[in-house]
């Protein structure tokens, strides 16, 4: 098996961070994954970086280049483009730290040929409580999946088992660490023309078929009726603390890591599958830094305004920032090279 991997870690820094703000109520923490001990905010009287100002100018994008990765001079932003080995798929990605004091998003993009089938894998990993879990997934999840003996013959089972085993492996690797990092994972695995979308947490994947946006994953929120029932059946509680949280702590009901809540916060993925045909126009995978402020339909409409997927990913990132996203923002846009170029 010969694999070529296109993988980049993005750590982007922007703006100047103000002093910690004390005395904020839980309501102000509603969009954070876990309740932080302190909050840092952008100080209004401080100068923003050159790139932040450029991001805030609606419609402005970075220059599209042939290289896999583009970085601005300040290291504030990263993006890139990719094409499958058979030339039938193109993708672009964009990642921006935004207003957060640290970068916890990661992503992975791989293409392989296994048993004569072209395989493409795309993943968004949104860390919380640190970046160790998201970094671990970036380095190991797809590698583990491609080694699964049933990856080609029973892909859905392979994805489910690999997700849960990788979670166990991460927890084992962290057994002597007092941190309790966690991460989402929203992945799209294309085997020939068969698409499998697997999700843990509140990152999301959306497909556009003939102009219609359809979510291929459902966010794992603690107040989702089936998730709440599962958590309470396991002896856990779902509480309101600025937003709905497992045990009053975690604002999602499934995640990798999070050892202290593992009995309730599982890494079992929900998987949707479908065959791609000529109706397929694009995929958007993104962390909730995008989805918090950009509805599914808007994301598809915005991505369709750009021919090149890298430009589309950049535009989505900029749109989320200008609409007020306070989170890290990372997205991947996947397009066929032409309507007739769906992988076999």
Question: Which structural domain, as residue segments, surrounds residue 281?
Answer: 2-214+275-336
Please report whether residue 342 resides in a domain: no
Confidence of residue 46 (pLDDT cuts 50, 70, 90): very low
Is the pLDDT at 72 greater than 60? The verdict is no
Please report whether residue 249 resides in a domain: no
Q: How many Å apart are CA 285 and CA 282, to the nearest integer?
A: 10
Of 303, 310, 260, 256, the residue nearest 140 (C-alpha):
256
Please report whether residue 66 resides in a domain: yes
Q: What is the mean pLDDT of the chain?
A: 81
**Cβ contacts of residue 295 below 8 Å, gap of 6+?**
none
Span 307-316, pLDDT tens digits: 999 999 999 9
Q: How many Å apart are CA 261 and CA 133, to the nearest integer?
A: 15
Q: Give the angle subtended at the CA of 243 by the CAs of 107 and 224, to the nearest 5°.
A: 75
Q: What is the pLDDT of residue 285?
A: 98
Q: What is the pLDDT of residue 159?
A: 98
Is the pLDDT at 52 greater than 70? The verdict is no
Span 233-257, pLDDT tens digits: 999 999 999 999 999 999 999 999 9
Please report whether residue 265 resides in a domain: no
Reading the block at residue 227, the tokens are: 């998730």
Q: Which of 20-34, 64-78, 245-259 has the lowest mean pLDDT?
A: 20-34
Span 115-143, pLDDT tens digits: 888 899 999 999 999 999 999 999 999 99
**Cβ contacts of residue 60 below 8 Å, gap of 6+?**
54, 318
Partners of 197 in the β-ladder: 188, 272
Q: What is the pLDDT of residue 169?
A: 98
Please report whether residue 245 resides in a domain: no
Span 184-205, pLDDT tens digits: 999 999 999 999 999 999 999 9
Residue 197: which CATH number?
3.60.40.10
Please report whether residue 321 resides in a domain: yes
Q: What is the pLDDT of residue 78?
A: 85
Query: What is the domain count for the chain?
Result: 1
Lookup result for tokens 């002597």: 176
Concatenate the DSSP letters of all residues of 270-291 into one string. Answer: EEEEEE--TTEEEEEEE-HHHH
For the question of whether the overall pTM of this predicted structure is more than 0.85, the answer is no
Please report whether residue 264 resides in a domain: no
Concatenate the DSSP letters of all residues of 132-195 into one string. Answer: HHHHHHHHHHHHHHHHSTTTTTSHHHHHHHHHHHHHHHHHHHTTT-----EE-EEEEEEETTEE
**Cβ contacts of residue 78 below 8 Å, gap of 6+?**
8, 10, 12, 69, 70, 71, 94, 95
Question: How much of the chain is in helix, strand and coil states, percent to nearest 5?
Answer: 25, 35, 45
Please report whether residue 177 resides in a domain: yes
What is the helix (H) or strand (E) element at residue 214, kind and residue range?
strand 212-215
Confidence of residue 44 (pLDDT cuts 50, 70, 90): very low
Instruction: Give backbone dihedrals phi and psi of 240, rounded to 5 degrees, phi first.
Output: -85, 120
Q: What is the pLDDT of residue 340?
A: 60
């Amino acid at each position: 098996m010969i694999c070529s991997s296109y993988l980049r870690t993005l750590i982007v820094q922007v703006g100047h961070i103000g002093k910690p703000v004390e005395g904020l109520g839980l309501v102000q923490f509603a969009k954070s994954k876990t309740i932080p001990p302190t909050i840092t905010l952008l100080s209004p009287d401080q100068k923003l970086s050159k790139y932040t100002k450029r991001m805030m100018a609606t419609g402005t994008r970075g220059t599209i280049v042939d290289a896999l990765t583009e970085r601005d001079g300040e290291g504030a932003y990263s993006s890139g483009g990719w094409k499958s080995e058979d030339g039938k798929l193109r993708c672009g990605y964009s990642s921006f730290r935004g207003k957060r004091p640290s970068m916890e998003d990661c992503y992975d993009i791989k293409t392989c040929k296994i048993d004569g089938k072209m395989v493409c894998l795309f993943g968004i990993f949104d860390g919380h409580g640190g970046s160790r879990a998201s970094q671990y997934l970036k380095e190991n999840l797809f590698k583990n999946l491609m080694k699964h003996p049933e990856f080609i013959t029973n892909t859905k089972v392979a994805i489910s088992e690999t997700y849960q085993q990788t979670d166990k492996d991460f927890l084992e690797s962290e057994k002597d660490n007092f941190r309790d990092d966690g991460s989402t994972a929203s992945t799209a695995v294309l085997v020939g023309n068969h698409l499998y979308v697997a999700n843990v947490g509140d990152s999301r994947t959306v497909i556009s078929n003939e102009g219609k946006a359809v979510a291929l994953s459902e966010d794992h929120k603690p107040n989702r009726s089936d998730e709440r029932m599962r958590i309470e059946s396991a002896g856990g509680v779902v509480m309101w603390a600025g937003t709905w949280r497992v045990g009053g702590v975690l604002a999602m009901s499934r995640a990798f890591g999070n050892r202290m809540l593992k009995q309730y916060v599982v890494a079992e993925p929900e998987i949707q599958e479908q065959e791609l045909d000529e109706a397929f126009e694009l995929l958007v995978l993104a962390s909730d830094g995008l989805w918090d402020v950009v509805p599914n339909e808007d994301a598809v409409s915005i991505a369709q305004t750009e021919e090149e997927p890298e430009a589309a990913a950049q535009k989505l990132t900029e749109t989320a920032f200008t609409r007020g996203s306070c989170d890290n923002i990372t997205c991947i846009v996947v397009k066929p090279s032409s309507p007739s170029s769906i992988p076999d």
